[in-house]
Amino acid sequence: MATTLTTLPPGEHGLLAARPGPDLAAAGYAESELVAAGSARSFAADDLPQDGRWTLAGRDRADFATRVVLRAPADPATYSGTLVVEWLNVSSGTDAAPDWTYLADEVVRRGHAWAGVSAQHIGVMGGVSAVGLGAPTAGLRGQERYAALHHPGDAYAYDVFTEVAGALVEHLGATLGEVTCLLAIGESQSAYALTTYVDGVQPLTGRFDGFLVHSRGGAAMPLGEPGEAVDIASFRLGAPTHVRADVAVPVVVVQTETDLTGRLAYLPARQPDAERVRLWEVAGTAHADKFQIGDFEEYLTCPRPVNRGQQAYVVRAALRHLETWARGGPAAPSAARLEVEDGRFVLDGSGNARGGIRTPAVDAPTQVLAGDTEPGAPAICELFGSTLPLAPGRVAELYADVASYLQAYERATDAAIAAGFVLADDRDELLAEARPDLVEEGLATGSLRPPSAGR
């Protein structure tokens, strides 16, 4: 049966976001919450080769009713025709939209529509957090507002995502304007899922025009069993799997330091660029960071301040390039890989990782930005990386005064824009993140402690 969309009455959707997003009403956007109901397939395969060239077959069908949060321009004249569909992340045991947090400014200023889909079983039916955040959750079904929802298990999640995206295309076509570019995005556990989708499901459906796979691990999410939620602990260290090199639509994979050598173990799955695949590895970044968590950092009680890198600007650039590429424009630029020897990052003279995509935070440094933290820290802290002072005397080695630092920071910003890994639209915001206060402090007193020797 066709997937239907029904608008829920206004109410609190509870979509987890630690950092406030743009003022949607002021930006001319409207938010609605929908129930998507229909029937979805599960999939099976005789073999899942590590090169990602999978051949899946439909297995059976089951009914579903799930939740969608839609944010779109209120005026059709400002709508770009692009719909960005985020596979909501459930690692906390409840739905979250990490890529909306990183990408909201880019989505709104471009006039795109964005939809967050509760694709996985735990988000709807409840379950255990994958990162040790307390007792099992009740899921959306635990609230009266969502009593009609039901999810048949993560074996059907891939086709749920397909069916909901198709229904949204029809809905927007009837209410706002034709969807001329349909993009899928997802971060962390959702990126594992999108890897599986790209390798096995997209060849069957051809549903999406491009994919932004953000902070995936080395494995792909399993195809799953009916009635069950996949357990990230059971597949996180599974077989390293590439994004298939013969994918028919553009795929941009954005990876942080944490993803390569941390608990996600992406490094064995690292792959060369292909005709429609780009891999971006970003120096000085963590799987999640201060930009993502905002003022909630103190509640994590991590042993070090969390990572304050600038991946948000790189992820925005990735989305811009992906949309341009998916619409038939130039391919996204290729990027250098982070330098790794014997499973550890090669560090520059300031203690930051060498290679990869460079931002001013690492090329005109005032801090050591890492994708890891102290050994033995809670799992959630491992994902948030760390920020430490530069080694004593390093500030004076780098900068004669604050003016020379600001000049270096501006040059690094413009170099990142020229390389295509930061958008000119974000230049002023990025320049505002310069830290002359830390340079003044470093020149006056020196830093308090050195960075670790390697990581």
pLDDT tens digit sequence for 166-204:
999 999 999 999 999 999 999 999 999 999 999 999 999
The answer to whether the beta carbons of residues 21 and 292 sit under 8 Å apart is no
* 53-81 confidence digits (pLDDT tens): 999 999 999 999 999 999 999 999 999 99
Domain ranges for the chain: 1-249, 275-455
What is the arithmetic mean of pLDDT over 429-445? Answer: 96
**236 band by pLDDT with thresholds 50, 70 and 90:** confident
Q: How confident is the model at residue 47 (pLDDT cuts 50, 70, 90)?
A: very high
Which of the given ranges, 3-12, 257-266, 407-416, has the highest pLDDT on average? Answer: 407-416
Strand partners, 57: 44
pLDDT of residue 395: 96
Q: Where are the beta strands (DSSP E) in 79-169?
A: 82-87, 113-117
Residue 448: band (very low, low, confident or very high) from pLDDT cuts 50, 70, 90: very low
Q: Which residues are 338's β-sheet partners?
A: 355
Say which residue, 18 or 400, is predicted with more confidence: 400
* C-alpha dihedral, 60 to 62 to 66 to 71, nearest 10°: 40
Measured CA angle at 280 (ends 394, 395), to 5 deg:
10
Q: What is the mean pLDDT of residues 320-337?
A: 98
- Find the length of the chain: 455
Distance CA(282)–CA(163), nearest Å, equals 33
Taking the C-alpha atoms of residue 232 and residue 122, their distance in angstroms, rounded to an integer, is 12
Question: Taking all residues of the chain, what is their mean pLDDT, rounded to a whole number?
Answer: 94
Which pLDDT score, from 0 to 100, does residue 94 have?
A: 86
pLDDT-derived band of residue 91, with 50, 70 and 90 as boundaries?
A: confident
Count helices and strands (H / E) in the chain.
16, 13
For residue range 351-407, list pLDDT tens digits in order: 999 999 999 999 999 999 999 999 999 989 999 999 999 999 999 999 999 999 999
Rounded Cα gap, residues 120 and 130, in angstroms: 13
Average pLDDT over residues 215-219: 97
Which residues of 326-366 form beta strands (DSSP E)?
340-341, 344-345
Do 383 and 288 touch, CB atoms closer than 8 A?
yes
- Name residues whose C-beta falls within 8 Å of residue 403's C-beta, 6 or more positions apart in sequence: none
Residues 310 and 433 sit within 8 Å (Cβ to Cβ): yes
DSSP letters of 211-246? EEEES--SS------TT----HHHHTTS---PPPTT
Query: What pLDDT sits at residue 453?
Result: 42
Residue 161's closest CA among 102, 96, 207, 216? 207
Cα 433 to Cα 91, 188, 256, 391: the distances in Å are 30, 26, 20, 21
Q: 135: exposed, middle or buried (C-beta count within 10 Å: 0-12, 13-18, 19+)?
A: exposed
Render pLDDT for 119-168 as a digit per residue (tens, 0 to 9). 999 999 987 766 656 667 778 998 999 999 999 999 999 999 999 999 99
Residue 280 scores a pLDDT above 50: yes
Query: What pLDDT is stored for residue 18 in this prediction?
Result: 65
For residue 82, the cross-strand partners are: 181
Taking the C-alpha atoms of residue 212 and residue 195, their distance in angstroms, rounded to an integer, is 10
